[in-house]
Amino acid sequence: MNETERKKINYLKSVTTATEYRHLLEGLKIAVGEGIKLGMSISASKKEFEKVLRKIKYLTEHPDRYVRGTANNIIEHAKEKSRQGIFGDGVFIMD
């Protein structure tokens, strides 16, 4: 991790509560994980995406714009990964 990344992380920690920061990390973990893309059914991929939304959607209205942007970026990444599973190289059992 370079100095710029460290500063960004420290800034996020300073403007969020411990719970908000934990929710960002949990949402990110789901968004970058393989479960959202490699589910065995369309509904499994959608459920993983919905987990991300439940964790961090409220942060898209945070008073700090950096927190809002980070939450929106995580959601967009999760949405894209979910689409890759549903429409891309994922193989699904029909629900």
Lowest average pLDDT, out of 9-13, 57-61, 79-83, 89-93, goes to 89-93
Of residues 52 and 35, more confidently modeled: 52
Better pLDDT: 33 or 90 = 33
Q: How many CB atoms lie within 10 A of CB 54?
A: 13
Percentages of the chain per state (helix, strand, coil), in multiples of 5? 75, 0, 25
Task: Please report which confidence band the pLDDT of residue 46 belongs to, taking 50, 70 and 90 as the band edges.
Answer: confident
CB 60 within 8 A of CB 71: yes
Domain ranges of the chain: 18-87
Q: How many residues in total does the chain contain?
A: 95
What pLDDT, on a 0 to 100 scale, did the predictor assign at position 34? 81
